[in-house]
Amino acid sequence: MRVSLGRRLRRCPLTHCLGVRPNWEDYAPQARDAIRNADVICYPGPHYGTLFESLGKGIFPLNYYPFLGNKIRQTCLFQLLGIPHPKTRLYYGGHRLRRIRWDFSFPFVAKTPLGSSQGSGVWLIQNEGQLRTYLQEHHPAYIQEYLPMDRDLRVVLIQGRVVHAYWRIAPPGEFRNNVSRGGRISFEGIPPEALQFAEFVAASCGFQEVGLDICLVEDRYWVIEANMVYGLEGFRQGGQDIYEIF
């Protein structure tokens, strides 16, 4: 019997889901023993995950919580591994506007680097006024090269295997492809090379569960972002149940 704290595996018959409790003593004695004796804990949450790893206990999925909602760490990881990723730089301290203008030409993309999702916290910066407004509210500044595209590919992988993929096609006048922003889902014409690239990225980064956003620009595949928590609308439209996959 597997032990999971998070609810992702709640419908899996071979998994005992105990929930993520704020205090260790909130768990019943039997649950504490199950956690102590388990070789691997699934979806332990960021707090317990760090504790379990420090004790040498296995967790699933690996490289999940440290990169959850953290674009800074994701970008550093992609750059460290040499994975194709839009040119991205962080700006701390003073004179940020001048330094950004030196490094980037309009238009470029600015993002909220921590905690943003579903297309929120993403702006297409086309002039200095928009940049000043962004800088007033963001420390550090997360600035990214703009890659012109009308769609990107969401690829979901679990334990290195592609389990789902679909195009996210932007609505007219929108530079973001997010389904939550009106993007349309399409399952047609997904290139096998894109799925192979996604498998390469997940394996290189050690992501055991991830939804990768990938685009094809100038005959080259790029990874834009890694989503540890991803929407399920694509699964619904594709007639798949993610819980049955687990």
pLDDT higher for 50 or 10? Answer: 50
Per-chain mean pLDDT for the chain: 93
Residues 221 and 162 in one domain: yes
Q: Is there a domain that residue 68 lies in?
A: no
Residue of 8, 25, 1, 23 whose CA lies nearest to 65: 8
Encoding tokens for residue 228? 């540890």
Q: Is residue 139 part of a domain?
A: yes
Please tell me whether residues 204 and 219 are part of one structural domain: yes
Q: Say whether pLDDT at 155 is over 90.
A: yes
Model confidence, pTM = 0.93
What is the percentage of the chain residues whose pLDDT exceeds 90?
Answer: 80
pLDDT digit string, tens, across residues 70-95: 999 999 999 999 999 999 999 999 89
**What are the pLDDT digits (tens) for 21-60?**
999 999 999 999 999 999 899 999 999 999 999 988 999 9
Helix ranges, 55-153 (H): 71-81, 96-103, 128-137
Q: What is the domain count for the chain?
A: 3
- On whether both 238 and 158 belong to a single domain, the answer is yes
Helix (H, G, I), strand (E, B) or coil at 17: strand
> Within this chain, do residues 241 and 157 fall inside the same structural domain, yes or no?
yes
Which 3 state secondary structure label does DSSP give 238? Answer: coil
In a domain, 117, yes or no: yes
Confidence (pLDDT) at 173: 81
Do residues 164 and 133 both lie within one domain?
no
**Average pLDDT of the residues in 187-199:** 98
Q: At residue 119, does pLDDT exceed 70?
A: no
Q: What is the pLDDT of residues 156-184, one digit of tens each?
A: 999 999 999 999 998 888 888 888 778 89
Same domain, 171 and 228: yes
CB atoms within 10 A of CB 199: 16
Q: How confident is the model at residue 117 (pLDDT cuts 50, 70, 90)?
A: low
Q: Are residues 139 and 216 in the same domain?
A: no
Residue 127 lies in a domain: yes
Q: Among 2-11, 43-52, 136-145, 171-180, name the one with the lowest average pLDDT.
A: 171-180
- The reply to whether 111 and 131 lie within a common domain is yes
| Domain residue limits at 205 | 151-245
Q: Look at residue 77 and give its three-state secondary structure.
A: helix
Average pLDDT rounded to a whole number, residues 210-238 = 95
